Structure 1
Amino acid sequence: MGDVAVGSRFGHDGEEHREQPVEDNVPAADGAMTSGNASGADGDGTASPSGSNGDGTASGGPSQPNEDGGGPGGSAPRPNKPRSFWKELPILIGIALVLALLIKTFLVQAFSIPSDSMQNTLQQGDRVLVDKLTPWFGSEPERGEVVVFHDPGNWLRGEPTPEQNVVQKALSWIGLMPSAEEKDLIKRVIGVGGDTVECQGTGPLTVNGKALNEPYVYPGNTPCTDDDSGGRFKVKVPKGYLWVMGDHRQDSRDSRYNQDEYHGMVPVKDVVGRAIVKAWPINRWGTLPVPDTFDQSGLNP
């Protein structure tokens, strides 16, 4: 009898415990115990013991960072501190110098016009951009193009070399300014390999018997001069060479007046490239196309 009574009373007490809430101890939904007066009360009035997770389950030990590097509770990761501009500046300068050298070597280079021999097409002090890319693909200069070429036979003898300061030398080294040490000239191609170029009296200038209409010649000049010092000539241009003349015919020491080892001819291998654009000053900006006179039929030998 004692055993039965005790069992009955124990079951009754347990049933009352489930139906009547107790202020101090309320069973959690998942069976974890919560305390009404414990620290860390939730927003709905229920309390969770210190160190428990948001779902009521207990967590042991101190809070750990998330796998993505964030802080406890899923907080956002701390952003990396950006690198200082002054630390990146030398890298940017180095990249710019390498690009400038590559452009100068393989693509485009700036040159300054040192004289009046190409007036009015080019004025003294103009800056031109020279295409250096096409010769790398085997392209050779054509009639009518304005080209820059290395001095083939001491054409610039007696010409003083302009002085440059440190800044100018640095700019010329990377191709932003022409180098004073480079002995280069700029002229217009009149004849290519196989052509016969002739001028008698004051003109007109002929190529393979075809007279050239030359609107680019300096106003007041004649295509050639009536003298024996180079104004009157008839030449056959060998393969691999060019016959060049300045647009200011009476102020240009070109192929007519340089009877060197090449007899005034310019080796194609000495051509730096074709001048394609007048880049400076801004008010003289423009392209340098081939004149229409060189497109006439029957000009090829």
Structure 2
Amino acid sequence: MPALDRSTIWPYRDGEPGEFYYQRYAHPTGVEAERALGELDGGHALLFPSGAGATTSLVLALLSPGDTIALAEGAYYGTGIAFAQLERWGLRHLEFDQTGAPPAGVQLVWLEAPSNPFLTMPDLDAAAAHPAQVVVDATAATPIHLRPLERGADFVLHSATKYLAGHHDALLGAVVCKRAEDAERLKEFRTRAGIVAAPDPCWLLLRGLKTLEVRVRRQTESAQVLVQRLEAHPKVERVRYPGFGGLLSFDVAGADQARAVETSLRVITNATSLGGVDSVLEARARWEGDRVPPGLLRLSVGLEPVEELWDDLSQALKRV
């Protein structure tokens, strides 16, 4: 692991600044983490203090008043809220079914692969054929399962808080750009706006990337076992899973039944977020309201033994 450098300034040499001189522009730990993530995704990576910060920065750096974003229907609800708040600056957004072609007349296409919490996958070929620039939020897929830049996307977005860092202890976002000139444009915006990731979470990201593939493979294997068993369970009405990754959702009869599952867990943590080493489950209607079924439970599968996870789900479902 590289050393963690928390410096905010670096001395000039012979009266001239070197590669690093003030932390808001760049710092060694962040540059090393960006290099590592860029290699994984096959592009030019930039880090931000959160996934939400990465989202807002990318939109503001790319678009102008009057532009429209086509947002994947059923995408992470916070993205839609952020886009709605940007309407006061003249940006508009509409939602579309990402399993088909994006609508005409938009300047940016925003996909999720897979969507959270409905786990739909976008038609990447149809999006690549669209004249607008394409962003793929691949937080749940990770570069282990999908490299969108190789499928025609212009940008990949990650909430690096989730799988990339992977231990529920780092708040971080990332954008990976296909083209160097786009990365420079976004970096300039990031610097001037001051939306810069600090050294400590960047170091934690470097730690997480070293075990990313091992973690994601294990989470995928466990999730596939749980999906098969949940699909056969009489208390489960529907299971959503894209066929890969550690994220799934399933429905019980309603809000009361979902609460019964949440409050009966012993191994799985009842909390928000996803992608970490610990399994986490929650009813998403708590945050998203009627845009999701009241009985929808999202499960992020961690690294616990799969039989322990199934035993916990089984006993919790008995409370339904």
- Same fold, TM exceeding 0.5? no
* Higher share of residues assigned helix: 2
TM-score band w.r.t. shorter chain? under 0.3
Output the TM-score relative to the length of structure 1: 0.23
Q: For the pair shown, which has the larger CA radius of gyration, 1 or 2?
A: 1
Output the TM-score relative to the length of structure 2: 0.22
